[in-house]
Structure 1
Amino acid sequence: MTIVLLQDVLDTPGLGIRLLHGDAAALARPVHRACTTDMPDPTRYVSAGSLVFTGLVWRRAPEDSEVFVAHLARAGVAAVAAGEALLGEVPADVVDACARHGLPLLAVPDDVPFSTVLEHLTRQWSSARMDRLQTGLARQRRLLAAFADGHALGELLARVCREFDVPAWVFSATGTLVAGNDELGESVIDACCDVALSAPRFPAEIPNGYTVLPVGSALRDRTTAWFLVLGPAAARNEDCVDAFTELATVAALERVRREDRLRAAWDTADARGVADAAGAAHPAGTPLVAVVVERTPAATPEQHVALRAVVSDALPSCVTGIDAAGRTVAVVAGTESDVVAVLQRRLGRLAPVLAGARIAVGVSGTCAGESIDGGIRSAESAAAIARGDTGPVSVRAADLDSAVGLLSAVPDRVRRAFADRTLGQVLDYDRRTRAGLMTTLEAFLDCDGSWRRTADRLHLHPNTVRYRIGRVEALTGRNLAHIGDRLDVFLAVRALA
C-alpha cells in the first residue's frame, strides 16, 4: 500500500525542498494531509498528522517563532514546511524553535509555489486512498466469508490483532467484554466507555493512547451499543484503523445474532415467568439473586426494552422480564455482594448518556429456587429506596437493617393482612368516591410530609392536601405527625406495592 512519508516529499524531483531539522525517524513519519496557514495562532487551521506550509507572514520578531511552533507541536502536526520567498531564507529562530519542540522543518525554495507541492501531494494521496480502498474491500470480503463459515468473532479479532501487532477488544456500553483475550484494567475500561458514550464522532482517541471505533450504528442509542477499542499507537497507523473498521462490520453482524438469541430467551422467560424460568435454568440449590431496575422519570416502551437489554448485557447469564410497572426484573446466579459490585461498575458507566434520567436498582439477598418470588419483592423494596438517592445511577442491596427491607422478608399473607388492616378503609373510600386519597398519601410520604412539596407535585392547593391527609388520618386512626404512626402507614403503602 502506498503511504506518503516525509522523506518522499524531500525526494520529489524538481521541487528542491531541503531538510533544515529532523532525523531519520522523523523522515519516516507518514504525512496524512497538508494545509497552509500564516495565522499567529494556527491551532484552528491544522490537524494531527498534517504537513503545515507557512510563508512566515506571522513572524514579526524572533520570539514569534517559539509561539507559532509551540502551537503546532501541541496540535500534533507531522512537520513544518517554511517558504523562503518572503524573507529570502528560513530564519535561525524558526529552526531553533522546531528543534526545541521536535518538529521536522523543511525549506521550500522561493521559486516553488506551495500550490505545486500541494498538487503533487494530492496525487500521491489519491493513489494511496485507492490502494487502501482496494485492500480494505479485499480484507472485508475475507472477514465476512470467514464469519459466514462459522468462525467466531473472537477468532477474527485475534487474526487482525496478529496482523498489526496491536491488542484490541470489543466491549458493550457497560464495559462488558464481548471479544478479546488480553486483560484490560477496569480504570482503562472506564475511560474507554466514557469516551465511547460521549464522543461526537469516531474514531475517538483517549488520552492514554487507546482508540475507540463504533460497531454498527453506535450513535443512535449508545446505552446498548458495542465499541471496538484498539491498543495504544494504533491511531498512528491508518491501515490498522482501516482494518479494524472493517472488522467492526463483522462485529455488527455478531451483535445482530446475539440480539436475536436474546429476544428468543426473553420470549421464553415472558411465557414462563421470570421466577419459573430462572428456577428451571439452574440446578436446585444454586444461590440466586433477584434484581429490579427502573428508569425515572417513567420510560417509554422503547426505553423499557433498552433497559432490559442493558441489564442482560451487564449480567450476561441472567433471566429477565418486564413487570407491570415497566421495571426490568432479573434473576442471576451469584452472591449479593458480587452482583451489587458488577451493577455499580457497569451501569455506572452509562451516566454520560442518561441525559437527566436516573437508574434505580434494587438487589435482593441470596435466595434459592423456591424463594425467588420473595427475592424479587425484596429487590423491589431496595429499588424504592434507591429511587430516593441522588446521582444518575443508584444500586441498593435489600439489607434487613431497614424497615422496608425487613418488611420484604415477611410472608405475602402477613404483609397483605397488615396493609389491609392499616389502609383498608382508605382504599374502600377511594373505590367509592375516587377521592385520590392514596395518591395524595403516597406523594405526602415521598415528600417527607411537606405540604407545599406535595401540593406542587400533585398540582393541588395546599389546603386540598391538608384536607385529604386529614381524611386519611380519620380513616386509619393514625396521626401522621407522629413518627410511629407515619412509619406504620409508610410500611402499609410499601406492602401494597
Structure 2
Amino acid sequence: MAVTVAQVLALPELRLRMVAGDAGLGNEVRWVHVSETVDPTPWLRGGELLLTTGMRITDPEEFGPYLHRLADTGLAGLGFGVGLDHPDVPEPLRAAAEERGLPLLEIPVDAPYVAISEGVSKLLAAERYDTIARAFDAQQTLTAAALEHGRGGIVTAISRAVDGWAVLTDTAATVVRAWPPEAGERLPALLPDLMRTRERGIRASSAVVTPRESIAIHTLGARGRMRGFLVAGVPGRASDYSRMVLAGGVALLSLEMERSQAASRQLRRLRSDTLLQLLRGAIAPSVAEQHVTGWELDPTALRVATYLCDASRGDPLGDRVNELMSEANLPGAVVVQAAGRQARVTVLTDGSDRTARALARLASVRPTVALGLGDVVPVERVSHSHRAASHAAEVGQAERRAVTRFDDLEALQMLFHAQSPQALAGFVRRVLGPLQQHDGGRDGTLLATLRAFLAHNGHWNETAAELGIHRHTLRARIERIERITGRDLASAYERMELWLALLADGAADPDDTRPAPDRT
C-alpha cells in the first residue's frame, strides 16, 4: 500500500497536527521537500509533502494564491512550521487548504524538519519492502498457476493479483483467454492501441489511463518473435506492485508461449507425417478417423486446402501457414511438399466458412500464392478433397487468382467426379506421356513452356515474357511440343485436352511429390 498523509500524521514522534484539508488525508506521499520560495512549483513533480515556514510571504493575502498554486501541482500535503515568522497557521492558508482539500499540517517550532524527512523515508522504505514482498508472493502464485494450468492459469492469477482484469491475445488481437470472462469485451475499443504497440516491436508496451483505471498493454514473445499481447486493467492509478506483477506475468507468458511453440513444432512434424500417409491412402479409415478426431476435427466434415507457390523464390510458405493455423486457433494438420520448382502446402482442416476465410486471407496478401479449396467430405473421402483442392489451385495459379473453390469449377467437377484416379492417370499418360519422357519428368523445359502457353491462352508475347525467352525460341519450342505429342496447339479441343492433362497430372498422384525439409 502507498504511504499516505494520514500515516505521516499518525507518527507520534513528529507531533504534527491537522489544521485543514482533511479530505486529502488519503493522498499518496512520494517524497518530502523543503522550500521557502514564494513559488516552488517549478521544482515540484506531484506527491510531495512540502515543508515551509512561510518566511518569504509577508502579505497574509498571498497565502491563498500560494496554496492554490501548490494544489495545482498535485502536492500531497503542506507542513507549516509555526513559532518563527508566524505564531499560528495563517487563516487565509487554512481557508484555501480546506477549499482545495489539501492536507495542512501544523509543525511545532521545536520539531526538526529532518525528523519528518526521516520518518517519511522509513515509511517509504517499509512500503517498498512490503511491495516487493507482495510482488514476490504474487510471482510464486503466478508460477504455480503456470505449472498447473498453463497460460489460462497465469491470466487468471494476474487478474486476481492486481484486483482487476487481464486478457491474453494472439498477434491478431484475438482473445485467447480472459479473466473475468467478460474482460474480453474490452478488446475492440483497445484495438488501435494494440496495433500501435505491435508496430513498435517485440519489447513494446503502452498504457491507457482513464479517471477510473489504468490499462497496460504488453507484447509477448522471445527471440525477436512476437507471440501475442497481455492487456490488463487495474483500478485507479497503476502502482509499483501492479507493475511488478505484470512484468512477471509477461515473462511467464512469454516463456509459456515459447514452450508451447516448441511443443507445437514437434506436434506439427508428427501430424505432417500422418497427413502425408492419409493423403496417400496408406491409413485405414478407422485409424484415420482416430487421428483427425485427435486433431480436434469432425471426421464427417473435413476439407483439404492446397497452396501453390514458386519454390525457387525460397518463400517459407509452409512456416507462414503453420503460424496462421496457430494464431487463428485453426484445427488440423499441414504438410509441405516440393515438386521441382513448385512448392505445395496442403492443409487438412474443418469445413467451416470461418476457416476457409482465414486461409483465403493469407493467399490474398501473397501475390505469388494460389489457394485451392476442396470439397467438404468425410474422412474416407479425404483423398477426393485433396485432388479437388489441387485442381482448383492449379486453375487459380494459371488464371492468377488468389483463391479458387473447386465448388465453382463445374466442368472439372463433372470430369473428375466421374473418373477414378486410375482412369485420370491413364488419361495423363496418353496425352502427356511422350512429352514427359522427352523432358525427363514433369518439370522439364517443354512442359513448363506448354503450361505457360496454355495459361496465357496461346498469347505469344505474354508467354515469352513470363518464360524470359525470345518469341522465336518460344515458337520453336511449341513446334517441338506439337511434334512430340502429335497435337495441334491451334486446335481449341486439343489445347483443352492438354490443359486437363496438365491439371490432372499436377494433382492426381500425391505419391510423386516429396515432403520438403521442415525449417521450423
Range into which the TM-score falls when normalised by the shorter chain: 0.5 to 0.7
One-letter amino acid of the structure 1 residue matched with residue 355 of structure 2: V
The yes-or-no answer on 1:287 pairing with 2:294 is: no
The yes-or-no answer on 1:13 pairing with 2:34 is: yes
Q: For the residues of structure 2 that align with 1:231 and 1:299, how far apart are their CA atoms? A: 45
One-letter amino acid of the structure 2 residue matched with residue 13 of structure 1: V
One-letter amino acid of the structure 2 residue matched with residue 401 of structure 1: L
The yes-or-no answer on 1:330 pairing with 2:347 is: yes
The structure with more radius of gyration:
2
> Contact 2:167 / 2:175 at 8 angstroms: preserved in 1?
yes
| TM-score normalised by length of structure 2 | 0.59
The yes-or-no answer on 1:243 pairing with 2:252 is: no
Given the superposition, is the C-alpha separation of residues 360 and 6 from structure 1 closer, same or farther in structure 2, using an over 3 Å criterion? farther
Partner residue in 1 for 2:466: 457
Compare 170-179 and 228-237 and name the one that shifted more: 228-237
2:378 to 368, 378, 394: 368
One-letter amino acid of the structure 2 residue matched with residue 157 of structure 1: V
Partner residue in 2 for 1:340: 356
> Contact 1:362 / 1:386 at 8 angstroms: preserved in 2?
yes
5+ residue gaps in structure 2? 5-25, 49-71, 75-120, 507-520
Once the 2 structures are TM-superposed, how far is the Cα of residue 185 of structure 1 from its aligned partner?
8.4
Given the superposition, is the C-alpha separation of residues 7 and 189 from structure 1 closer, same or farther in structure 2, using an over 3 Å criterion? closer
Partner residue in 1 for 2:505: 496
Q: For the residues of structure 2 that align with 1:285 and 1:491, how far apart are their CA atoms? A: 31
Given the superposition, is the C-alpha separation of residues 163 and 464 from structure 1 closer, same or farther in structure 2, using an over 3 Å criterion? same
Once the 2 structures are TM-superposed, how far is the Cα of residue 149 of structure 1 from its aligned partner?
4.2
> Contact 1:336 / 1:397 at 8 angstroms: preserved in 2?
no
Partner residue in 1 for 2:431: 422
One-letter amino acid of the structure 2 residue matched with residue 319 of structure 1: A
What is the correspondence of 1:26-425 to structure 2 with a 5 Å cutoff?
Answer: 134=132, 138=136, 141-143=139-141, 145-147=143-145, 149-180=147-178, 181-182=181-182, 183-184=184-185, 194-195=195-196, 197-200=198-201, 202-204=204-206, 212-217=217-222, 220-222=224-226, 225-230=227-232, 240=242, 242-274=244-276, 275=278, 276=283, 278-282=288-292, 286-294=300-308, 300=314, 304-325=318-339, 326-332=343-349, 334-344=350-360, 347=362, 359-387=369-397, 394-404=402-412, 409=417, 410-425=419-434
Q: For the residues of structure 2 that align with 1:422 and 1:206, how far apart are their CA atoms? A: 66
Given the superposition, is the C-alpha separation of residues 259 and 454 from structure 1 closer, same or farther in structure 2, using an over 3 Å criterion? same
Once the 2 structures are TM-superposed, how far is the Cα of residue 370 of structure 1 from its aligned partner?
1.4
Given the superposition, is the C-alpha separation of residues 186 and 244 from structure 1 closer, same or farther in structure 2, using an over 3 Å criterion? closer
Question: How many aligned residue pairs are there?
Answer: 391
Q: For the residues of structure 2 that align with 1:411 and 1:233, how far apart are their CA atoms? A: 66
Once the 2 structures are TM-superposed, how far is the Cα of residue 328 of structure 1 from its aligned partner?
3.1
> Contact 1:422 / 1:476 at 8 angstroms: preserved in 2?
yes
Counterpart of 2:149 in 1: which secondary structure?
A: coil
Once the 2 structures are TM-superposed, how far is the Cα of residue 141 of structure 1 from its aligned partner?
3.6
Given the superposition, is the C-alpha separation of residues 127 and 459 from structure 1 closer, same or farther in structure 2, using an over 3 Å criterion? farther
Q: For the residues of structure 1 that align with 2:195 and 2:233, how far apart are their CA atoms? A: 16
Counterpart of 1:317 in 2: which secondary structure?
A: coil
Compare 440-449 and 243-252 and name the one that shifted more: 440-449
> Contact 1:451 / 1:462 at 8 angstroms: preserved in 2?
yes
Given the superposition, is the C-alpha separation of residues 483 and 195 from structure 1 closer, same or farther in structure 2, using an over 3 Å criterion? farther
Q: For the residues of structure 1 that align with 2:427 and 2:251, how far apart are their CA atoms? A: 57
Given the superposition, is the C-alpha separation of residues 147 and 135 from structure 1 closer, same or farther in structure 2, using an over 3 Å criterion? same
Given the superposition, is the C-alpha separation of residues 285 and 13 from structure 1 closer, same or farther in structure 2, using an over 3 Å criterion? closer
Once the 2 structures are TM-superposed, how far is the Cα of residue 161 of structure 1 from its aligned partner?
2.1
> Contact 2:464 / 2:471 at 8 angstroms: preserved in 1?
yes
Once the 2 structures are TM-superposed, how far is the Cα of residue 189 of structure 1 from its aligned partner?
8.7
CA RMSD in angstroms, aligned pairs only: 4.9
One-letter amino acid of the structure 1 residue matched with residue 331 of structure 2: S
Given the superposition, is the C-alpha separation of residues 302 and 440 from structure 1 closer, same or farther in structure 2, using an over 3 Å criterion? closer
Q: For the residues of structure 2 that align with 1:496 and 1:189, how far apart are their CA atoms? A: 50
Identity across matched positions, percent: 20
Once the 2 structures are TM-superposed, how far is the Cα of residue 158 of structure 1 from its aligned partner?
1.9
5+ residue gaps in structure 1? 21-26, 32-77, 81-122
Counterpart of 1:365 in 2: which secondary structure?
A: strand
Q: For the residues of structure 1 that align with 2:439 and 2:445, how far apart are their CA atoms? A: 6
Once the 2 structures are TM-superposed, how far is the Cα of residue 260 of structure 1 from its aligned partner?
3.8
Counterpart of 2:167 in 1: which secondary structure?
A: strand
Q: For the residues of structure 1 that align with 2:497 and 2:431, how far apart are their CA atoms? A: 8
Partner residue in 1 for 2:108: none
Once the 2 structures are TM-superposed, how far is the Cα of residue 314 of structure 1 from its aligned partner?
3.0
> Contact 1:362 / 1:383 at 8 angstroms: preserved in 2?
yes
